[in-house]
Amino acid sequence: MPTPAARLHGQAIALTMGEPAGIGGELTLKAWLGRADAVPPFFTIDDPRRLRALAESLGLAVAIRPIATPADAPGIFGDALPVLPLALPARVTPGHPDPANAAAVIESIDRAVALAMRGEVAAIVTNPISKKALYDVGFPDPGHTEYLARRSGTALAPVMMLVGGGLRVVPITVHMALRDALNALTTKLIVATGRTVAEALRRDFGVAAPRLAVAGLNPHAGEGATLGTEDRDVIAPAVVALGALGIAVTGPHPADTMFHRAARMRYDAALCAYHDQALIPVKTIAFDEASNVTLGLPFVRTSPDHGTAFDIAGQGRADPTSLITSLRLAAALAAQRAKPGPGPL
């Protein structure tokens, strides 16, 4: 049986609602307005009434058309924004999330996952959520990445990759306090992450022989264990183990010299010890256009690499570049995944 992403021809991308009090709705409308600029066909799982009201308030000439199934979307995408209806129970006030709408935010994600698992969509792109708003109603996972992995039933630990400006970075530990991340960084976790990244580079990005670079944890990658022993005792053994699996890998490298222009030419993806070590360089290089990709899922998922931006919600100031980039990237990854390719590592 083909994977969910393999049945790609003629399918649209499912775009989730995201936090309705944030900028997701505005981004969706503006992405559709940019459809002539190589934006792949997509539909959104959202409330048509709130999107119509939002378009009117922002002065955006977007026709909203409810659809019954994802198969309806490609045929009408050129003339109207296809919306798979999901009613919001409470009125949306920009910048002020309402707990009454949290269940609908989660349901939008769940519907997208179900459609992807049944092979009815090319890929999933998720609009930004407010983690706090969802935590307040009992959301059980640290973020989108972990939730999608659990809902899809994958046995692999999810891996988050940020793509932008010619750079691919992966935080080995993700949504946790720095003190906890240091304790969570193990040789086993680094090896598992590296394997997932190498396989995704081959399968989804078409990189025949992936090159990985692993960042050190301490200044100067530990300076011969004089500035901490983790690079010697935890990271270096993982690099050796990944090499023994046939993966081209180097490290640990001093993190402060890994991301200049010449250094970036030496690897296809950088593995970083913790969240900010990975995200600071990609957001510095490509803040407006970077995308978040979840590796290890049975379907393709991307997302804009920014948050809900409550401070500018409803003002017409949101930049759709990252969402448009994420839609294009999702389509490209799904098309690449649908091609015959090498087996898993």
Q: What is the pLDDT of residue 134?
A: 82
Q: Which helix (H) or strand (E) holds 169?
A: strand 167-171
Q: What is the CA radius of gyration of the chain?
A: 20
Strand order in the sheet with 13-16: 64-66, 81-85, 42-46, 13-16, 124-125, 301-304, 291-295, 159-164, 167-171, 269-272, 211-215, 248-253
Q: Range of 150's domain?
A: 1-154+301-345
Q: What is the pLDDT of residue 139?
A: 81
List pLDDT tens digits, range 73-105: 999 999 999 999 999 999 999 999 999 999 999
> Are 141 and 43 in a shared domain?
yes
C-alpha span between 224 and 231 (Å, rounded) = 9
Q: What is the pLDDT of residue 9?
A: 60
Q: Which of 296, 315, 337 is the last residue of a domain?
A: 296
C-alpha span between 260 and 175 (Å, rounded) = 26
Structurally, the chain folds into a number of domains equal to 2
**β-strands 291-295, 301-304 pairing:** antiparallel
> Are 16 and 72 in a shared domain?
yes
Q: What is the pLDDT of residue 142?
A: 75
- Peptide linkage before 158 cis (omega within 30 of 0): no
> Are 54 and 165 in a shared domain?
no
> Are 307 and 273 in a shared domain?
no
Which residues of the chain are modeled with pLDDT < 70?
1-9, 341-345
> Are 176 and 243 in a shared domain?
yes
> Are 41 and 19 in a shared domain?
yes
> Are 175 and 322 in a shared domain?
no
C-alpha span between 253 and 220 (Å, rounded) = 7
Q: Name the token pair of 253.
A: 């490298």
> Are 73 and 135 in a shared domain?
yes
Q: Which helix (H) or strand (E) holds 215?
A: strand 211-215
Q: What is the 3-state secondary structure (H, E, C) of 82-130?
A: EEEECCCCCCCECCECCHHHHHHHHHHHHHHHHHHHCCCCCCEECCCCC
> Are 86 and 8 in a shared domain?
yes
**β-strands 269-272, 248-253 pairing:** unpaired
> Are 67 and 176 in a shared domain?
no
> Are 193 and 124 in a shared domain?
no
* CATH code assigned at 97: 3.40.718.10
Burial of 13 (0-12, 13-18, 19+ CB in 10 A): buried
> Are 56 and 78 in a shared domain?
yes
Q: What is the pLDDT of residue 341?
A: 62
